[in-house]
Structure 1
């Protein structure tokens, strides 16, 4: 089996919340794609409940695009501790951490239920599994801890 970088990461050594550059790849035409580990809670100590994580996912898909160009995908980890963030081009963990922080601040301070995209049977594969209240509470907690641009040393942005 192929080695997967994130399964080689020692999850006992990281200090969440953080943004970590997993790697960059160049396509056949020279396009660069970067993959980030956006870890919102400490692995094996906490996990974001599914409904809240689902709502954060839907909101971040729009909020990130409002703040930076080049987002390809923002997908939750199955362990519910964070997300993969796939971007066109090269970006620094610090720049991505600032975007994540600003987006979470919007979830806490601005977003209302009517702002959450993809919450109907037509637009979501599990439309009943959302919780804006949970998304707001976890976003507050993450912001209180601060988002680091380094996975192993706290460099809060």
Structure 2
């Protein structure tokens, strides 16, 4: 049987300092395309976690905003631990390029007046969204990212 290695389980979560953008891996498809996964860590693992309504709000907001900043986004998915998101892109990108896009996306979150697709037609749990919470976490993370990447 093939041994499976889950990349995120190989990272020592006690030795990182959030927030950060980390290239978590790349794969090459059978046709030669490169897919890159990034860990966008908002909060310190095992010390903090976002409430689901704030995390869900950030997911809806950043789904569009990150695509405005970066081409070839496959997905932006919240981590089950609620400390960040995985960003999956077609092609190679640097951590610095992704960090700038993330910063710009968070700035747009702070300017948002509503959460997109916050209705029962477009969302499977539309009642569990918080614009206020999304903005509060965006402020906290943006402050930390600006110290690291600017």
When the two structures are superposed, what TM-score results if normalisation uses the length of structure 1? 0.91
Residue 60 of structure 1 is matched in structure 2 by 62
1:61-140 matched pairs, under 5 angstroms = 61-108=63-110, 110-113=111-114, 116-140=115-139
For structure 1, the 5+ residue unaligned runs are 149-154
RMSD value over aligned CA atoms?
1.2
For structure 2, the 5+ residue unaligned runs are none
Q: Tell me, yes or no, if structure 1 residue 142 matches structure 2 residue 141.
A: yes
CA distance in 1, matches of 2:144, 2:137: 11
Instruction: Kindly state the Cα deviation for residue 3 of structure 1 after the two structures are TM-superposed.
Output: 1.7
CA distance in 2, matches of 1:147, 1:47: 21
Residue 156 of structure 1 is matched in structure 2 by 149
State the aligned residue count: 148
Give SS of 1:133's match. helix
When the two structures are superposed, what TM-score results if normalisation uses the length of structure 2? 0.95
User: Compared with structure 1, are the counterparts of its residues 147 and 22 closer, same or farther at alpha carbon in structure 2 (3 Å cutoff)?
Assistant: farther
User: Aligned match of 1:35 in 27, 31, 37?
Assistant: 37
Indicate conservation of the 8 Å contact 1:52/1:130, yes or no: yes
CA distance in 2, matches of 1:2, 1:60: 30
Structure 1 ranges of 4+ moved more than 6 A:
none
CA distance in 2, matches of 1:3, 1:66: 32
CA distance in 2, matches of 1:145, 1:24: 26
Instruction: Kindly state the Cα deviation for residue 156 of structure 1 after the two structures are TM-superposed.
Output: 2.4
CA distance in 2, matches of 1:50, 1:15: 22
Deviation string 1:53-106 (CA, Å, 9 cap, x unpaired) is: 001001111001111101000000000000110000000010000000110011
